[in-house]
Amino acid sequence: MTTIDRPEYKVIGTRPVRPDGVEKVTGRAQYGADIHLPGLIHGRILRSPHAHAKILSIDTSEAAKVQGVFAILTNKDFPGASDKVEELGESAVNLKDALDNILASDKVLYRGHAVAAVAAINGHVAEEALSKIKVEYELLPPVLDVRDAMREDAPLLNESRHTKTLMTGELSEKPSNIATYNNLKAGDLEAAFAAADAVVEREFTTKMVHQGYIEPHNSTGNWNSDGTITIWTSTQGTFAVRNLTAEVLKQPISKVKVIPMEIGGGFGGKLPIYLDPVAALLSKKSGRPVKVTMNRTDVFEGSGPTSGSYMKLKAAMKDKRLTAVEATLCFEAGAFPGSPVGAASMTMLSPYKVENFDIKAYDVVVNKPKVAAYRAPGAPIGAFAIESVIDELCKNQGIDPLQFRLDNASHEGTKMVTGVPFPKIGAEESVRAAMDSPHWKSPIEGPFRGRGVATGFWFNGGMQSSVVANVNNDGTVNLVEGSVDIGGTRASLAMQLAETIGIPFDDIRPAVVDTDSIGHNDVTGGSRTTFASGMACFEAGMDIRRQLIARAAKVWGVAIEDVVYEDGKVHSLKDRSKELSFKQMAADSARQGGPIAGKASLMARGAGGAFATHIVDVEVDPDTGKVTILRYTATQDVGTAIHPSYVEGQIQGGVVQGIGWALNEEYFYDESGRMANSSYLDYRMPTALDVPMIDTIIVEVPNPGHPYGVRGVGEVPIVPPLAAIANAIADATGHRFADLPISPRRVVEALNGLE
Amino acid sequence: MARTHVSTRLNGVDTDFLCEDRQSLLEVLRDEIGLTGAKEGCNNGNCGACAVHLDGRVVNSCCVLAVETAGREIATIEGLADGENLHILQNCFLEEAALQCGICTPGFIMASKALLDSEPNPDEHRIRFWLSGNLCRCTGYDKIVRAVQRAATELQEAK
Amino acid sequence: MEAFTYLAPKSLGEALSALGNGKKSLLLAGGTDVIVQLREGRRQCDQLIDLKHVPELMSFKIAGDGSLEIGAAAPLAELYEDPEVRKRFPAVVDAATIIGGIAIQSRASLGGNLCNASPAADSSPALMALGARLVITGPAGNREIAVEDFFAGPGRNTLQAGEILLQVQIPAAVPNSGAFYHRFIPRNEMDIAVASSGVSLVLDSAGVIQSARVALGAVAATPLMVPAAAAALVGKQAGPEAFAAAGEAASAAATPIDDMRGGVAQRRHLAKILTVRALEAAHQRIRESR
């Protein structure tokens, strides 16, 4: 671990067993689909078999006759949503689009688009009823590729959508599938290209890919007899579910309570709502609690993967400096606007000081599922292109690719493409750690073996968090939080509270509670939870410390300024013999002023961006096209590693998702817009046998915007792998692959000149 | 729908249940018996989240009909710990931080148990091969493999 | 999933009479294909007949003449864990250990893999290369066919109404022979073959190929015997030249489709590569057995 200016901590940096661990290894933890309620019935969704069609009619009469069916729902049963944008934290959503995506109104815009819902005595009966719903469609030509969708004569998904130019707010005259256009530029591109030592220009494509969380979406709704609504669901954001469900159902937010169940992975894909209002309304109609679940095919076809893309890049180098970048980024948004092209355009150049750039970004609708966030949304796609081009420039010029990244690295004060200067960052440190790694210092030898590197950046988020810390009279603390724990944040938050009040980790019992029981918390996403909710834990701990200081001052009859809190104790500065431990004060709380509770509700600012540098060795079998990952090392500036094991785990998980994206994962469509590989059999996520151990090197450049120096950790690890692997394959084969995935088929065709 | 009476032995206890013939073992464990440790990830045998043991062998309970289990021994994640004493594998998964979201964990532990029952000292490649029918999307497998390696060592030492 | 009735006959006679009762039936062995197909609506039945309680379908043995007789519903794991099977029939083990994951192999059977009749099934080319025969039983008694004659198209086999696949018979390996099954998949496990090749070789004492069998998977509507590849081998010295010629013949015989698992040119190319590699590995087995 490389650590810079880190104070001594007692709890932070240790590796305790997570508080929710035992429940999860014994099978007792309750995930969304595990819920059982008295009278529970089961909901299923009918989905469009067509990629693009008008809905002429929906006849549910035969389905209603199936014995055991309690309720049937279509879009017409909803009160109708307004054309309003709701911030989801890492992504925003237009409510009318959201409702149209929950159940289609007049058109289906992708295969898998939800059309109707049934609640029945069990799932088998619900499926039987779905098969009896008659939907009359008028087929329309689908548009599946982003470049096809941008053509003037392309079939339009929405006749009334015009291109919005983000710099000016202007709308195009003609309707278009291009939802938005943005342009970021600075400097003198032409002059920089003219003066360059080397210029590389390339086109890149990437395919739509899925987050791949193992737990399918689920939601259980109960429309209570008092008119309130309870939702039990696996989501990354209970408050987002509450607010959107209330909005879609035209209910006051206070009437909706969302109870977070354990969540089986999300990676951004469980930020949107799909099932919650459906479960609620089915419950209203049937008078029973209704559990609606997706199956795996539903998840692939009907949830929110991330964009496929077309990108064109031109970059110049002079005197070993990156001098100019021109980029056109075209991202598939899926059926409704909202691709992460903006984030891609704003992150791709962040690792570098580059003065001349022109980035054009297009958000384009196509007849595919509406994309959702996926781990550093957009950034891996942009990084794939720029990091490939930089690798090619370095190769052409005979420059060490890590030295180049070090020499060109952004640092404090470097302006991002948005013009905002970076605060203290660890870009250089991350590259240096890679250069110092045993991996980089070891040779790579043998035929068809190669090494690649790439670097990446992600902003990380802050936003709103609330926690309450209730001190019990035995000196233990119940930490009440509202950030869903998707991978160990009960531990990382409790550790920060323990550090702040100077008590053992085991004395803190964290609980993730429902939306009625804690103040607002934004989603678990944007790598914000350990940062922002951690900041709230710190503030709540400080709140407790202040209260204890005030009480001790009163007990001792001294001024508040004369009492300090250290190592879980208060003592008097005037008289060192006067000392009270946290435990003693907790025990005496009833006599010293009543219960002690620390609270914090805050808007966390000061999120620190994260940089990561990856090194990968591959071996390519030229006869089969198979790429084997031989060795992988990932360095990352994490600010401060609260629980290093879970930091490593986030890095390793992100890397392996990146390996899948680079080598095998893709939505494989036929011409009609049917996804041909909507199962785990043919959507090829890496298995344990496909990857080696992933070596991690944690770099700690504390974030000045957080009391413990925390930076977000979870997202940036997926940014470098696509390019690092492509660069390694180029090194191994001499062939540069600019289209993802670099599947065995692509490799064997390219290396053997097959058609 | 007519239901069939099935007698099995579940986690060491004689257990009877009624089920439809079309119901999978996974459905019956979860919906009829109330043991929700086995998870539905794909419902077609490709993710291993529903892994249980049937007569000592690991199977995907989504690909077994509940009626098929008449007279047979079923072991699920819920039966692995001895009261409050966790199995060594469970402890190793905790100590090695081999889970993030945890949804795949019961399946991984049951599959790993079957491996270590039959091969007490597998090498890394063998562990990865054996566990390739279990998908994890959070951890990148590194810490899972280490947990199984550690459990193998500790189980050998405990003998 | 649509409703059906589950039957568990205790004998072959009971199974045959259940199959002949006029209802629409499907047979259940390991269930790792058929249960999923029923769930996804790709197959339907009124009754599902579980064959796992019929003793002769669940056992396997090495007969007096050294041949291996495998009950069609016997689980793969039980088969490949048997030390004698591993020693004498390694090419069967090649295939059986990579059909699905471990949890699939606890239940899945050779008979099920064959009856499912996927052109990409792993057991088919291996068994075809070994010259395996199938014993089929039915109302008219037993009949025997070669494995390669069992397939009628993707997902279709040649079982007639009322018939059950009873047994897979693999002839004893003759001295100086070796067989190997090799497939290509994009991942390292848990995939369907993009292409595959099963081969067997018999050499004379001078290393000249006396007889050979080459079978391909996933490159045609059914698993494919390639007599031209065998012809390119017989009479030649076992080695790179002969193997390359067989590879070319295999590639020429392939008539693959383009789908999400692979392309036409890719599969033709792989037919060659995999055949050569399988021949090299079979040859290696012969050398190791000496």
pLDDT at A6: 72
Looking at the complex, does the CB of residue A488 fall below 8 Å from at least one CB of chain B?
A: yes
Which of A34, A214, A655 to substitute to test the interface with B, most B CBs within 10 Å? A214
| pTM to 2 decimal places | 0.97
pLDDT at A82: 60
Asked if omega into A741 is within 30° of 0 (cis), the reply is yes
- CA-only gyration radius of chain A, Å: 27
Provide the percentage of residues in chain A whose pLDDT is more than 90. 96
Looking at the complex, does the CB of residue A346 fall below 8 Å from at least one CB of chain B?
A: no
Residue A2 pLDDT > 80: no
As a whole number of angstroms, the distance between CA A279 and CA A220 comes to 6
Backbone angles phi, psi at A752, to 5 degrees: -115, 10
- CA-only gyration radius of chain C, Å: 19
Do the chains contact at C48 and B65, CB–CB below 8 Å?
yes
Do the chains contact at B133 and C6, CB–CB below 8 Å?
no
**pLDDT mean over A25-29:** 98
Contacts (Cβ under 8 Å, ≥6 apart) of C288: none
Chains touching chain A at 3 or more Cβ pairs under 8 angstroms?
B, C
User: What residue in A sits closest to C276 (Cα-Cα)?
Assistant: A623
Sort out which chain A residues have CB atoms less than 8 A from B142's CB and list them: 648-649, 652, 693-694
Q: What is the pLDDT of residues A166-225, one digit of tens each?
A: 999 999 999 999 999 999 999 999 999 999 999 999 999 999 999 999 999 999 999 999
pLDDT at A3: 55
Q: What is the pLDDT of residues A296-316, one digit of tens each?
A: 999 999 999 999 999 999 999
Q: What is the pLDDT of residues B20-51, one digit of tens each?
A: 999 999 999 999 999 999 999 999 999 999 99
Q: Considering chain C, what is the average pLDDT of its residues? A: 97
Helix segments in A459-581, DSSP class H: 489-501, 534-556
Which of A14, A15, A18, A24 to substitute to test the interface with B, most B CBs within 10 Å? A24
User: What residue in C sits closest to A666 (Cα-Cα)?
Assistant: C260
Write the CA distances from C272 to A620, C226, C245, integer angstroms: 18, 12, 9
User: What residue in C sits closest to A127 (Cα-Cα)?
Assistant: C1
Sheet holding B51-54, edge to edge: B13-19, B4-10, B73-75, B51-54, B57-60
Kindly tell me the sign of the dihedral angle through the C-alpha atoms of A546, A547, A552, A558: positive
Backbone angles phi, psi at C287, to 5 degrees: -65, -40
Q: What is the pLDDT of residues C184-213, one digit of tens each?
A: 999 999 999 999 999 999 999 999 999 999
Distance from CA of A682 to the nearest CA of C (A): 7
Do the chains contact at A626 and C3, CB–CB below 8 Å?
no
Q: What is the pLDDT of residues B91-136, one digit of tens each?
A: 999 999 999 999 999 999 999 999 999 999 999 999 999 999 999 9
**pLDDT mean over A562-580:** 94
Do the chains contact at A124 and C1, CB–CB below 8 Å?
yes
**Tokens of residue A244, six digits:** 């959107």
pLDDT at B1: 66
As a whole number of angstroms, the distance between CA C248 and CA C180 comes to 18
Asked if C182 contacts C205 with a C-beta cutoff of 8 angstroms, the reply is no
Do the chains contact at B137 and A25, CB–CB below 8 Å?
no
**pLDDT mean over C266-290:** 97
Do the chains contact at B137 and A36, CB–CB below 8 Å?
no
ipTM of the complex: 0.98
As a whole number of angstroms, the distance between CA C282 and CA C202 comes to 10
Name the nearest CA neighbour of A725 among A222, A394, A383.
A383
pLDDT at B2: 85
Give the largest CA-CA distance in chain A: 88
Which of C42, C243, C266 to substitute to test the interface with A, most A CBs within 10 Å? C266
Q: What is the pLDDT of residues A249-276, one digit of tens each?
A: 999 999 999 999 999 999 999 999 999 9
The half-sphere exposure of B150 on its side-chain side, counting CA atoms within 13 A, is 19
**pLDDT mean over A611-639:** 98
Which of A298, A624, A681 to substitute to test the interface with C, most C CBs within 10 Å? A624
Chains touching chain B at 3 or more Cβ pairs under 8 angstroms?
A, C
Sort out which chain B residues have CB atoms less than 8 A from A33's CB and list them: 30, 36, 39-40
User: What residue in C sits closest to A297 (Cα-Cα)?
Assistant: C40
The secondary structure of A35-73 as a DSSP string is ---TT-EEEEEEE-SSSSEEEEEEE-HHHHTSTTEEEEE
Residue A599 pLDDT > 90: yes
Asked if B62 contacts B131 with a C-beta cutoff of 8 angstroms, the reply is no
Sheet holding A477-481, edge to edge: A508-512, A477-481, A463-471, A596-604
Sort out which chain C residues have CB atoms less than 8 A from A625's CB and list them: 266
Query: Using CB atoms and an 8 Å cut-off, which of residues 675-714 of chain A contact chain B?
Result: 679-681, 685-691, 693-694
